[in-house]
């Protein structure tokens, strides 16, 4: 049975119209697919933008917080947008970040990390670590409770979330109480069954796109090149000592098997992990078809997970 016929009926019409990303042929056009018009901002959330220092100069972060705040310090989350390490911008997740703020009564910092191929590894993870350390160093300014800090992201942002959790563990901080790498892009080897299954041109993330994006992100390398787990989290020798984790993936997502393997390894390492597999769904289904019942169920589940983690 082909890709489209395996999808839930409520998701098929969107896929039938989706042109697919053409990273190799036209990266700028593909990037334009992820740009979205400004949202009507919630009156309950205040959003500000500022430039912060990183390794190679300043980067943008967007800060979302309750519009009516007291002096009480709030939990905080660093959000990392998706886009396969080569596309995306914090603006595309404005509505989701507002939703996190209202559900968890928290501060969200969303980072505009540098993209490949213009800026290959380690630019993106360096920027994410810089944003995390800035957020915690400026806890007084931001009104953040340092005992309740989490990181989260989706797709390529999920891969960066998993990498950042490893980096924070290995560097001895900042301290994290939770990570949420949603359907994360964490394995460049492309040897799993699901990485061979999803080949349709109009799949939201196909094998061809995955191979291209990893090559853009990792740059020039040979078969014998040693690849850092901060670039490819699945290559980490140990997942012990990572924070409690939530993740999910669609059954028709190229990242299905690498996510399942990651979940199993976390559990084996003694890390508390919650995992959801959604049958009949593709990569980023809840973002592309937000009105579908399965999408509302999936997004509510991970929004609730953040709210529970940040308000123990």
From 211, 271, 218, 219, select the one nearest 247 (Cα to Cα): 271
Point out the catalytic residue in the list 119, 283, 295, 299. 283
SS3 107: strand
Q: Is 253 a catalytic residue?
A: yes
8 Å CB contact between 179 and 149: no
From 236, 226, 259, select the one nearest 166 (Cα to Cα): 236
Cα-based distances in Å from 262 to 145, 158, 182: 29, 12, 12
Point out the catalytic residue in the list 30, 110, 155, 195. 155
Q: Is 89 a catalytic residue?
A: no
255 φ, ψ (degrees, to nearest 5): -85, 5
Tokens of residue 3, six digits: 């890709």
Point out the catalytic residue in the list 94, 126, 253, 257. 253
8 Å CB contact between 111 and 61: yes
8 Å CB contact between 162 and 181: yes
Q: How far apart are the first and last CA of the chain?
A: 44
Q: List active site positions.
A: 155, 253, 283
């Amino acid at each position: 049975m082909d890709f489209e016929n395996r999808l839930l009926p409520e998701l098929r019409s969107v896929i039938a119209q989706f042109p697919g990303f053409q990273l190799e042929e036209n990266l700028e056009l593909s990037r334009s697919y992820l740009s979205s018009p400004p949202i009507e901002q919630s009156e309950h959330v205040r959003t500000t933008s500022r430039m912060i220092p990183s390794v190679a100069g300043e980067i943008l972060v967007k800060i979302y917080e309750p519009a009516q705040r007291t002096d009480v310090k709030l939990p905080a989350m660093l959000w990392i947008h998706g886009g396969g390490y080569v596309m995306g911008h914090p603006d595309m997740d404005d509505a989701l970040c507002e939703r996190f703020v209202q559900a968890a009564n928290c501060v969200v910092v969303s980072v505009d990390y540098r993209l490949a191929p213009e800026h290959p590894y380690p630019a993106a993870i360096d920027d994410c670590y810089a944003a995390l350390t800035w957020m915690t160093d400026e806890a007084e300014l931001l009104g953040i409770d340092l005992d309740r800090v989490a990181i989260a992201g989706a797709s390529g942002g999920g891969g960066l979330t998993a990498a950042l959790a490893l980096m924070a563990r290995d560097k001895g901080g900042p301290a994290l109480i939770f990570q949420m790498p949603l359907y994360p892009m964490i394995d460049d080897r492309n040897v799993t069954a699901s990485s061979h299954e999803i080949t349709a041109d109009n799949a939201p993330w196909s094998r061809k796109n995955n191979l291209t994006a990893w090559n853009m992100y990792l740059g020039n390398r040979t078969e014998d090149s040693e690849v850092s787990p901060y670039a490819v989290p699945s290559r980490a020798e140990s997942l012990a000592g990572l924070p409690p984790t939530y993740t999910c993936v669609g059954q028709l997502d190229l990242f299905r098997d690498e996510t399942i393997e990651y979940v199993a390894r976390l559990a084996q390492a003694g890390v508390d992990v919650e995992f959801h597999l959604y049958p009949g769904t593709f990569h980023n289904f809840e973002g592309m078809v937000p009105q579908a019942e399965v999408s509302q169920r999936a997004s509510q589940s991970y929004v609730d997970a953040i709210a529970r983690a940040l308000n123990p």
